[in-house]
């Protein structure tokens, strides 16, 4: 039989080990896991670790599969619905080694801008090349207003090709193009303009991510790709475009 003689009525029952643990946890602010048994506590910790792993993995997957972050770059000069002729001047040393590159740039840049700016009008490259080479006029001595009148355009974009080569410096056996060109935009006006409405310079190498150049690329293909790259860099001065933030940082 139970001996109740030492138990006073109304007195609290003695605290067990589990009760003391729960009481201590409530006073100290310790997590509720302190009051659980070892088996239950181990399972709870495993669930917490599994949840953290899934959360971290999900974040990494979202980062890996998210589209590249981009930033919009505005046009540096807007042409609107006006007309433009593109004239390319090349240094004599460039013309001697690459006799067709001037015309290639004229055709490529005209085509590039025509695609990107459908509301503007661009004088056909064949007409510009004929004017420069077969008209009998010394266009380099003409004023900008005279050129605009002859080609019937509102703007003349002059591309001065100061350097163009497909040879890497000090390593002539490697193919690595580089160029240096200045851009000057002139507009038709009542009084002759001496200062350009817009000007900039573009210098680059191609391929742009190549450090030493390449052995196995055909020179004709390299010239074509370099001209297209130059046209893209020059053309996007006049229209908005998106750039990857990674490219901007580099």
What's the average model confidence in pLDDT over 165-170? 77
199 or 244, higher pLDDT: 199
The rounded distance, in Å, linking the Cα atoms of 4 and 66 is 72
Look at 57-66, 115-124, 146-155, 220-229 and tell me which has the smallest mean pLDDT: 57-66
Q: Identify which has the larger pLDDT, 71 or 10.
A: 71
pLDDT at 139 over 50: yes
Name the pLDDT band for 65 (thresholds 50, 70, 90). Answer: very low
78-111 pLDDT, tens digit per residue, is 999 999 999 999 999 999 999 999 999 999 999 9
More reliable by pLDDT, 61 or 170:
170
Q: Summarize pLDDT for 176-217 with one digit per residue, the tens.
A: 899 999 999 999 988 877 899 999 999 999 988 776 666 667
Mean pLDDT calculated for residue range 24-39: 48
Looking at residue 248, its pLDDT comes to 58
Closest Cα partner for 178 from 80, 116, 69, 98? Answer: 98
pLDDT at 233 over 50: yes
For the segment 46-75, the average pLDDT, to the nearest whole number, is 62
pLDDT of residue 168: 72
């Amino acid at each position: 039989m139970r001996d109740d003689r030492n138990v006073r009525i109304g007195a609290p029952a003695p605290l067990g080990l589990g009760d003391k643990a729960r009481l201590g946890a409530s006073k100290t602010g310790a997590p509720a896991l302190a009051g659980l048994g070892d088996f239950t506590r181990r399972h709870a910790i495993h669930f917490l670790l599994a949840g953290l792993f899934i959360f971290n993995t999900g974040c990494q997957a979202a980062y890996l599969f998210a589209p590249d972050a981009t930033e919009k770059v505005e046009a540096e000069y807007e042409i609107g619905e006006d007309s433009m002729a593109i004239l390319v001047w090349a240094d004599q040393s460039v013309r001697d080694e690459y006799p067709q590159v001037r015309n290639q740039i004229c055709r490529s840049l005209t085509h590039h801008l025509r695609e990107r700016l459908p509301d503007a009008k661009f004088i056909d490259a064949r007409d510009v090349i004929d004017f420069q080479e077969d008209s009998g006029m010394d266009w380099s001595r003409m004023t900008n207003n005279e050129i605009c009148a002859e080609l019937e355009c509102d703007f003349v974009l002059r591309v001065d090709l100061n350097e163009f080569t497909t040879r890497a410096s000090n390593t002539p056996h490697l193919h690595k193009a580089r160029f240096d060109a200045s851009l000057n935009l002139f507009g038709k006006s009542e009084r002759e303009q001496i200062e350009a409405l817009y000007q900039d310079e573009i210098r680059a190498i191609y391929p742009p991510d190549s450090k030493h150049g390449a052995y196995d690329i055909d020179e004709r293909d390299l010239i074509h790709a370099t001209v297209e790259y130059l046209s893209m860099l020059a053309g996007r001065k006049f229209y908005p475009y998106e750039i990857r933030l990674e490219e901007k940082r580099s």
